[in-house]
Amino acid sequence: MAARDNPAKAVKKGAQAAGGAQDDVTRDVIDSGALDAAAEAALAIAEAAQPDQAIPEGEAVVPATPPVIIGGVPAHALKEIDKATPARTGARAQTVSNTSPQAQRARSVVTGDPTETRNSMHRATKIVATIGPASTSPDILLQMLQAGLDVVRFNFSHGTADDHRQRAEIVREAARQVGREVAIMADLQGPKIRVGKFENNKTMLVAGNPFILDANCTLGNNERCGLDYKDLPRDLRAGDVLLLNDGLIVLDVTRVIGEEIHTTVKVGGELSNNKGINRQGGGLTAPALTEKDMEDIKTAMSLGADFVAVSFPKNATDMEMARQLANIAGAPYGIKPKMIAKIERAEAIPALQGILDASDGIMVARGDLAVEVGNAAVPALQKRMIRMARESNKLVITATQMMESMIHAPVPTRAEVSDVANAVLDGTDAVMLSAETAAGKYPVTTIETMAAICIEAEKSEESQLDRDFLDRTFTRIDQSIAMGALFTAYHLGAKAVVALTESGSTALWMSRHWSHVPIFALTPRVSSERTMSLYRNVTPLHVDTNMDRDAALNSALEVVVSKGYAARGDMVVLTVGEPMGQAGGTNTLKIVRVGDHI
């Protein structure tokens, strides 16, 4: 049957041959009103996709080159469909311009331009992963960095100070091998309130039975168990609800007598040594920083941690105290780490703005938070926290069970894929892996999978830069330059924004807004380079700025070109400060084409 006799069928056939993208391709082509031309192209694609002809005996066999995929469609298919599908007029929001990121990605892969192809794989969302028994070996950690790991998390709930120092050395060596700086995040344990140990290491609680939490109990049994937080009885009263083991066991408090908390088991189950305790709705008075945390801060500074994550802060005061302790401990090493507040207490929600103001960023720690406020409340809180962090020019990490099934399985569930993608679309700076990489079977595959999900999600993310700038007032010169550079690059279709920065502030302000234009932050400071590895859509690079302005700008362009991010003739927006070498001194914006005299 000729293509014009049944164009829709031909389109479907061509799309099937193009790698299984039948639904999206068919829908796009049919909607375009160009069925006849598209059918001819689709048949051509189908013919091109047929199996190779038999090779005569005696001739050499040349392996077939795998097709390049763009958003699930082979490049040759996309090229044919583009030619057969004229753009609709008068629909600016629904068409793809020649300078749009989508068009640039398509052109780069079709034409084989290696610079463009590399840019098409630029990932804006960063990946934080926890190091543990499954990922401590130098070889595995090196593969994780090569797969796209940006920040390595040290969980101070486990391991000794010497363990952490040894792992820090492995991380730094792996970073040297891949040729880029990687940040280290020290995640403090915090006041995790737990039950004590049991005579037989565990017991079974039955619904309806009484059970006592006794601060004076040494070894627990079927009737009672001890507490590691001795002040818990003073925080509770009859009618409170306790959630044990991440909410799997529920106890109703009936009365409190001295050091004993008498409860009735509402939801039973197996309770083993050292499981966590939460009060439904929050309200426990345990301080955010324990004696162990204070010692761990000293250890973190000795190994050169770039970020310190504080568990269970209730207010701004908790974060201010943690920052003061970290700055004092880091002074002998010349370190002032960035402070991340883990939002996992119900009390932290009404105090969120104050916590943001006292921190450099927040972590949406959905595990303990969900236990205290309820699972159903977490998704909306996540969106709210990400939005508030970006509006406050702060960082935000989304964490907990993002790829949990990959602890044991080589592929994630569809729900996990959607969870990661939605966090990306919400605007998170980073997505985090915990047990998946610390103890899972597939730490490298998990990072590769997460990176691929982020890239795909970012392709569909719409820029709202014009709306972001409405009714905004900038009071600082360096911030005004940063926003001006971002706005200019977006509307001129520049290939990149290149910011020469000392502290990284310019790059941080730019990264709060999504524009599809990659940002390259060049700095002479290793500490800034590591810190910026967590900034969304920012690629930190090292450059020597001990030179005059023009030489520094030329050097910056050379670095970006040598890394394959731009080519001769590409438009680039530059920002720099004069005199150079001063933090917060960015005051110049320059628009250039690579290869032209600066």
Catalytic residues: 153, 194, 342, 400
Q: Is the peptide bond before 579 cis (omega within 30 degrees of 0)?
A: yes
Q: Is 562 left (phi over 0), alpha (psi -120 to 50) or beta?
A: alpha
Cβ–Cβ < 8 Å for 308, 318: no
The β-bridge relationship of strands 241-244 and 249-257 is: antiparallel
Q: Alpha-carbon distance 17 to 5, whole Å?
A: 20
- Secondary structure (H, E, C), 137-175: CHHHHHHHHHHCCCEEEEECCCCCHHHHHHHHHHHHHHH
From the number of C-beta atoms within 10 Å of its C-beta (0-12, 13-18, 19+), residue 277 rates as buried
Q: How far apart, in Å, are the Cα atoms of 343 and each of 11, 27, 240, 261, 384?
A: 50, 43, 22, 27, 12
Q: Alpha-carbon distance 132 to 167, whole Å?
A: 9
Q: How many CA atoms lie within 13 A of 332 on its CB side?
A: 8
Length of the chain: 598
User: Hey, what are 455's tokens?
Assistant: 């890239």
Cβ–Cβ < 8 Å for 267, 222: no
User: Hey, what are 214's tokens?
Assistant: 């006794």
Q: Alpha-carbon distance 77 to 69, whole Å?
A: 9
Q: Alpha-carbon distance 341 to 337, whole Å?
A: 13
The β-bridge relationship of strands 260-267 and 249-257 is: antiparallel
Q: Alpha-carbon distance 200 to 479, whole Å?
A: 61
